[in-house]
Amino acid sequence: MQLTEAVPWGRLASEYISMFALTPQDMNGRILDCGGGPSSFTSELTRQGRQVVSCDPLYQFTIEEISQRIDATYIRMTALNEANRDNFLWDMYDSPAKLGQIRMRAMRLFLEDYAAGKEQGRYVVGELPCLPFPSESFDLALCSHFLFTYSEQFTTEFHVQSVIEMARVAREVRVFPLLTAFDGQLSPHLPGVMERLREQGCSVEVCPVAYEFQRGGNKILCVRTPAA
């Protein structure tokens, strides 16, 4: 991964809780944020005494490099949201400018925690479909705005292997959203992924959640391994 390829856009723990329908019991377990980037989920839950690890290729870079990249892409990301504002529901965020402020708050919380978190093993360099963790290391693995979001860039097989890998390291997997980033349509990879996972003996279902920002983006893929 080249730093110039990264488009940092962090989310708060409160957003994760809504997106993934996380219960207090869920958050008492060992959680992996797969592809967590500069979100503040790991930082915020660690402060609450929870066990969370975030994995992303972004973590190969220094805090200074990541901070500079955030500043370099922030205005562009806010402008993209403004240009595409009709694709979103703004009840939670009011406007693209307000959303940008929330995203920046999450990323600043991440940056404040990054150095200590790397030293403590909470920010781990790694990427799908090969995660650097032993099998059954976590109770729950989350993937936000990566799988299915970038359906044009990645094949069905990539998605299958990625979810299978997440299911290897965690007893349960949740992926949000199931829509593509560019046209807001249900990912064409979803049926094939669900079929292959069921062939592996996993319990697979699409579950509604209370969170909806991208229009129609209020569902997650829930996968449980045979032993779960």
What is the per-residue pLDDT across 19-30, written as a single tens digit (0 to 9) for each?
999 999 999 999
Rounded to whole angstroms, how far apart are CA atoms 59 and 123? 7
> Each residue of 161-196: pLDDT tens digit?
999 999 999 999 999 999 998 788 999 999 999 999
Cis bond before residue 129 (omega within 30° of 0): yes
What CATH number did the domain enclosing 145 receive?
3.40.50.150
pLDDT of 122 strictly over 80: yes
User: In this predicted structure, what is the pLDDT of residue 6?
Assistant: 75
Q: State if pTM tops 0.75.
A: yes
Of the chain, the percentage scoring pLDDT greater than 90 comes to: 89
User: In this predicted structure, what is the pLDDT of residue 228?
Assistant: 60
How does DSSP classify residue 101? H
Tally the domains of the chain. 1
User: In this predicted structure, what is the pLDDT of residue 1?
Assistant: 64
C-alpha torsion sign, points 84, 212, 23, 225: negative
Strand order in the sheet with 138-144: 123-124, 51-55, 30-34, 138-144, 170-176, 219-224, 203-208
pLDDT of 158 strictly over 70: yes
Q: Which segment of 75-79, 129-133, 174-178, 221-225 scores lowest on mean pLDDT?
A: 75-79
Structural domain span for residue 150:
3-224
Query: Which tokens sit at 1?
Result: 């991964």
Residue with the bigger pLDDT between 76 and 6: it is 76
**Burial class, 129, CB count within 10 angstroms (exposed 0-12 / middle 13-18 / buried 19+):** middle
